[in-house]
């Protein structure tokens, strides 16, 4: 991953540097991701996945499984998706 932007109701966070290696795999209409070594802890691992939908301008992921179960059901939509490719 080389860039990420997260927005809440009143704040937007941009990330261009990451503290660990990350991977995301897309196949069919499913995705999976994971990373290890967060903040220098080699035993830390984080993973999850679920379904995604893609239209001409939006990409939406819905988490169906996650190592932190509180994230299950969370959806993320990237708008103007083609402009980031």
Encode pLDDT of 31-74 as tens digits. Answer: 999 988 766 777 878 899 999 998 878 889 999 999 989 989 99
pLDDT in tens, 4-39: 776 667 887 777 666 667 788 999 999 999 988 766
User: What is the tally of structural domains in the chain?
Assistant: 1
What is the pTM (predicted TM-score) of this model?
A: 0.68
Domain assignment of residue 12, given as a range: 4-84
Cα–Cα distance between 40 and 60 in angstroms, integer? Answer: 30
């Amino acid at each position: 991953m080389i860039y990420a932007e997260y927005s809440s109701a009143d704040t937007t966070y941009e990330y261009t540097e990451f503290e660990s290696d990350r991977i995301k795999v897309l196949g069919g209409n499913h995705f999976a991701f994971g990373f290890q070594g967060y903040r220098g802890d080699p035993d830390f691992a984080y993973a999850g996945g679920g379904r995604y939908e893609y239209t001409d301008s939006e990409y939406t992921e819905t988490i169906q499984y996650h190592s932190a179960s509180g994230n299950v059901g969370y959806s993320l939509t990237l708008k103007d998706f083609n402009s980031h490719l």
